[in-house]
Amino acid sequence: MKPRRFAVSPDVLIWARQSARLSSAEAARRIGVQEDRIGQWELGQVEPTINQLRHAAEAYNRPLAALFLPAPLQEEAVFDLPDFRRPETEGEESAPLRRAILRAKGQQEALQDIQDELGDVALPPLRTIDIARLEAEDAGQQLRDELGFIDFSQRLWSQPEELLRELVRRVEDRGYLVIQVQRVSVSEMRGFSIAAELAPLIAINGADWPRGKVFTLLHELAHLGLRHSGLCDLSRQSSVAEERFCDQVAAAALMPRRSFRSVAERLTIDPTSYNDLRVLSDRFGASAEAGLIRMIHLGLATWDDYSSLRGEFRSAYDRHKQDEKDARVGRDAPIYYQLKVRDLGRPFIASMIRAHNEGALSSRDTARLLDVSYDKIPKLIERVASAEVLA
């Protein structure tokens, strides 16, 4: 029996693909068809099957029903984040980044729906870290106090993966949702935040190295402490005031002014030496790049120093990724479910499972929100219960 095909508007298919910022080639790859088939659909020459439409809806970040609209939505509300990135990146979003933002927003909306249905969710009550009326140095100290930095052992500061895991846990314990994003270049995005009354969200670029993720986590927490959202990279001299402020807050939280200045002066750190910056910043759980920006904020270095080292920072990142790749040779790749827990966040997964168990979510919707087939959900639950979490 031939599969049934459905008459859908070619204009709607074009609108859905373009609004997802996908080329025909990328759409075809994600849907699992040849590129010329996308063109045939969009010209009305061939009608898609229901399974193809389901895959298209997933690729385009749309509910299936949207593809059956008679015409594209003319006044659709587009969700965009305030863009605080560098001028050469600002305003541009790749398809993977756009999908990541929409996925994150969808997670928040799913939690809100469950809250409306069940009255509560698996997230702890939100305890916002409010820094709206503080100067950057005081706000950084507020983050240190609220997250209990004084309790961290010196060993933790020297182990960036462990430091990140502990910080994520403490931020989640305050009712925030922390996720990680895949397939987005760190040159395009280091992190973003979405303010909300329920589950304010912090997204970290999964491709970044652990010390960079630590800084980004604190930076985005500062945005949320202002009750604002933002799409960010590590800010530069030309960044807007709020982005500079959030960088300063994150730096002050990781590298308290008095102790940081004391160590920098005692070690006679040369701000144009990458190795010197590594020695200094490692003591505070920060990257060399974050350490140099901290020195600039404290008047111990200049933006010219930063410009002279920009290539070295990029080279160091490339070396780190190569070292990671070399270290994995002969070892098992990260378990799929470990990555899934890291990227969706434990609290979100626990909330969706609970909603399903209590009848608030269908099996299909649960599998869609958790991005796994329904028969694989038990494996995901098992991994959530495990103490092992990827950084």
- Cβ-contact 99, 20 below 8 angstroms: yes
* Both structure tokens of 23: 């080329």
257 occurs within a structural domain = yes
Residue that finishes a domain, picked among 301, 327, 353: 327
Per-residue pLDDT of the chain (391 residues; tens, 9 = 90+): 677 888 899 999 999 998 888 889 989 998 999 999 999 999 999 999 989 998 998 888 788 888 989 888 876 666 789 998 887 777 778 888 988 998 899 899 899 988 888 887 778 888 989 998 999 999 999 999 999 998 887 788 888 899 999 999 999 999 999 999 998 988 899 999 999 999 999 999 999 989 999 999 999 999 999 999 999 987 666 668 899 899 999 999 999 999 999 999 999 999 999 999 999 998 898 989 889 989 998 999 998 999 899 888 888 877 777 776 666 655 555 578 888 888 999 999 999 998 989 888 888 888 888 888 888 888 888 887 775 666 6
337 occurs within a structural domain = no
- Shared domain for 287 and 144, answered yes or no, is yes
82 occurs within a structural domain = no
3-state secondary structure 270-303: CCCCHHHHHHHHHCCCCCHHHHHHHHHHCCCCCH
309 occurs within a structural domain = yes
375 occurs within a structural domain = no
Letter string b/e over residues 115-144, b meaning 16 or more CB atoms within 10 A of that residue's CB:
beeeeebbbeeeebbebeebebbebbbbbb
366 occurs within a structural domain = no
* CATH label of the domain that carries residue 50: 1.10.260.40
- Shared domain for 210 and 303, answered yes or no, is yes
What's the residue count for the chain?
A: 391
Residue that finishes a domain, picked among 304, 327, 350: 327
- Shared domain for 210 and 321, answered yes or no, is yes
CA distance 61 to 102: 7
State the amino acid at position 358 in one-letter form: E
The residue with tokens 């992190």 is 191
Give the number of domains in the chain: 2
Rounded to two decimals, what is the model's pTM?
0.84
Residue 3 neighbours by CB under 8 Å, 6+ apart: 49, 50, 51
- Shared domain for 131 and 238, answered yes or no, is yes
- Shared domain for 63 and 169, answered yes or no, is no
Structural domain containing residue 41: 10-68
* Both structure tokens of 291: 């350490």
State the amino acid at position 183 in one-letter form: R
- Shared domain for 48 and 171, answered yes or no, is no
- Shared domain for 136 and 238, answered yes or no, is yes
332 occurs within a structural domain = no
Q: Is the dihedral of CA 104, 105, 106, 108 positive or negative?
A: positive
- Shared domain for 60 and 130, answered yes or no, is no
Residue that finishes a domain, picked among 303, 327, 351: 327
CA distance 56 to 54: 5
pLDDT of residue 334: 56
Closest CA to 107 of 206, 216, 202, 226: 202
pLDDT of residue 328: 60
CA distance 196 to 176: 10
- Shared domain for 30 and 161, answered yes or no, is no
- Shared domain for 175 and 248, answered yes or no, is yes
- Shared domain for 129 and 274, answered yes or no, is yes
85 occurs within a structural domain = no
pLDDT of residue 157: 84
- Shared domain for 154 and 21, answered yes or no, is no
